[in-house]
A and B are shown apart, each in its own frame.
Chain A
Amino acid sequence: MRTPVFLLIWFAIAGAIFGAAMAFDNDYVFFAGYVIMQYIVLSTAWNILGGYCGYVNFGSAAFFALGAYSTVAIYKYTTGGDEPSTFSMPIPFLMLIGGAVSAAVGFGMGYLTLRLRGAFFAIATLALAVVLETLVVNWDYVGGSRGAYIIRPEDIWPIGNYIRYLFLMMMLLAVAAMTIARLIERSRLGYGFATIRDDELAAEASGVPTLRLKLIATTISGGLMGMAGAPFPYYIAFLQPDSTFGLDYAVNSIAMPLIGGTTSWVGPLIGTLLLGSLQQIATVTISSAVNLLIVGILLVFFVVVAPNGIVGLFHTYFQRKPEEFVGRRRVDADAPGTVP
């Protein structure tokens, strides 16, 4: 399937979902839906570095929060305080800025630590999250440890209240993220990532510039996570460092791809829908602590019993030969992303 067709299909699906949600006319749907879309982006982004390249990032929260706090900084700058203003930067711009900041930090951190083994990189990402949180907590401009209040703008015609608009934006970002992931999978870059995951030494010997590719993966991954974080202050209206930097983001963005399947863009989607829904149900029926217990248990279970996730189970059950997990097409050597 060519990429434009893929995009069209998913835009149609997104449109249908949005239409259905509007018809249902209950704001809870939009609140819950936003979170699910956000996690689709986060888990897809995580998977680009984690699933495709095999480098575990425990600091998803850091990149997410960078996007969120970029928005807060811009908000404070344009409003000069806590009063609502007539101007609020459109979400797509905020996403681009938040994404750029996260991508830059991702690149920088990658440059420092990607020459080391995967285990050290993983630990370094944990460290990054805490260092960034400490910096934010001590930066009063964005609220410090007290937190930051963000006032949502008025309704946006013809959609309605701002939450619905946020949901639409996040859904479009989710479609973009999946498209990017799929594009990477089917390109020369995707092959390169797979070799890094399988055997970095052999990859280097075959001519793959592993450090450069790893930096690309980290930058794209971090950038997408930042884009997911950018609208968050408007969503939550009151942004606090300890929840924004929480490990919950890390565990979810790891669990969802691992449960869904790490070798393709479909895995994070399935994992998010499954785990996201389970968590929403658990939060509403039991408690939000049980939420995380479920994630932890499912993560451990899948990782031990079904390492290739649901997508892997699907392949095994239907006896499909998992001949090529990456790029089932011919690839033109100098045009990454071309799909004949």
Chain B
Amino acid sequence: MIFSYDLLINAIVSGILIGGFYAAVSCGITISFGILDIVNIAHPGFIILGSYVVYIVNAATGLDPILTAIVMTPAFYVLGVGMYQVYYVSFEKRGQESLRGLAFFFGVLFITEVSLILYFGVDYRYVDAPYIGPTLHFGEIGLPLRMLVPCLVSLLLIAVLQLILTRTFIGRAIMAVSQDQLALRLMAVDPIRIKRIAFGISIATASLAGAFLIIIQPVEPSVGREYIGRIFAICVLGGMGSLPGTIIAAMLIGIVESLTSTFYGPSWAPAVSFGFLLLTLAVRPAGLLGR
């Protein structure tokens, strides 16, 4: 283990940058699990789907991945709405969401992953964009643009989400639906419709997260599996329904992973987020900023 301040600083910076990306990946879960209490383990599957969509468009037309993802957001939103409808009718209404709901999403994750394998094969795919490649340098600190750009856009995405949740009527209804459904009904707002919208938004974020992912690293269908634990770890650590908490938790995990990888080797990195998760669940399930 060679220790140098150079390495340390770069590891931390790298961790922050990837933390920003992790936040985008997890914000969907913050909404679906943190606020709506739906354990959507299929979320990474949708992210990978997003990556592949961006890949196809980029390979065919050279269109910028992030732009593509933004354009695709409505489609993912509709997908999310559809999924919630199935989930609601099959499970929530019948009160069986614990066992069967979990199994449902697990099945969906598998279907998504295997369908992608069957269609695209297991080769790694990547995209082309002007900011993939160059690196900004500030003294000894290197800021690869392929990580900086997704990080910045992620933070923007989360800021927009937070504005929606706190300033718009729909957003506040979404926050309310997790706390008091009866009050919503009394205000002539259908809680089910609100949850549908919220879940739709949650899946819509997967489109952008997918674009970020394939910008940062090459993607193949089973990459999603690494993220299952990460996103739930970040959501729980961040205090469940809190977007600011998500950012902090994401950065924290990003930094610890980066340090572990740099100084102990990349083969230990997967254990970091999952280890965090186990620790958090065992010690402080309310998370850092928990309610």
Contact = CB atoms under 8 A, between A and B. Distances in A.
Q: Tell me if chains A and B make direct contact, with any CB pair below 8 A.
A: yes
Interface of A: 50, 54, 56, 58, 112-113, 116, 118-120, 122-124, 126-128, 130-131, 133-135, 137-138, 145, 197, 247, 250-251, 254-255, 258, 262, 289-290, 292-293, 295-297, 299-300, 303-304, 307
Interface string B88-110: 00100010101110111011111
Contact of B270 (A120, A128, A133, A254): A133
26 contacts: A56-B98, A112-B278, A113-B281, A113-B282, A118-B99, A119-B33, A119-B98, A120-B285, A122-B102, A123-B236, A124-B277, A126-B229, A127-B275, A128-B274, A247-B225, A251-B107, A289-B117, A293-B110, A293-B114, A296-B109, A297-B107, A297-B111, A299-B107, A299-B110, A300-B108, A303-B90
B217 interface: no
Contact of B90 (A116, A126, A304): A304
A3 B110 CA distance: 38
A221 B267 CA distance: 29
Given A119-B98, A303-B107, A127 B118 contact: no
Contact of A112 (B41, B90, B111, B282): B282
A240 to B, nearest CB: 14
Mostly, the A contact residues are helix
Contacts of B274: 126-128, 130-131, 134
Contacts of A135: 271
A118 B281 contact: no
A138 B267 contact: yes
Interface in B73-129: 86, 90, 94, 96, 98-100, 102-104, 106-111, 114-115, 117-118
Interface string B260-283: 000000011011001101100110
Given A126-B229, A130-B271, A293-B111, A254 B281 contact: no
Nearest to A299: B107
B74 to A, nearest CB: 25
Classify chain B: how many residues form its interface, as a range: 35 or more
User: Ordered nearest first, which 3 A-B pairs have the shortest CB separation?
Assistant: A296-B110, A134-B271, A299-B107
Contacts of B94: 307
Contacts of B107: 251, 255, 296-297, 299-300, 303
B18 interface: no
Contacts of A127: 229, 232-233, 274-275, 277-278
B111 A300 contact: yes
A260 to B, nearest CB: 13
B288 interface: no
A250 B271 CA distance: 19
B66 interface: no
Contacts of B282: 112-113
A254 B106 contact: yes
Contact of A137 (B115, B118, B267, B281): B267
B268 A134 contact: yes
A131 B114 contact: no
Nearest to B269: A134
Nearest to A257: B103
Contact of B103 (A123, A290, A303): A303
Given A119-B39, A123-B39, A126-B229, 9 more contacts: A50-B99, A56-B98, A127-B274, A127-B275, A131-B275, A134-B271, A250-B106, A289-B118, A296-B114
A134 B269 CA distance: 8
Nearest to B235: A123
Contacts of B41: 58, 123, 126
Contacts of A145: 267
A131 B282 CA distance: 15
Given A56-B99, A297-B111, A124 B117 contact: no
B228 interface: yes
B91 to A, nearest CB: 8
Interface centre among B229, B233, B270 (most CB of A within 10 A): B229
A286 B225 CA distance: 25
A296 B277 contact: no
A295 B110 CA distance: 8
Interface centre among A127, A134, A304 (most CB of B within 10 A): A127
Nearest to B233: A127
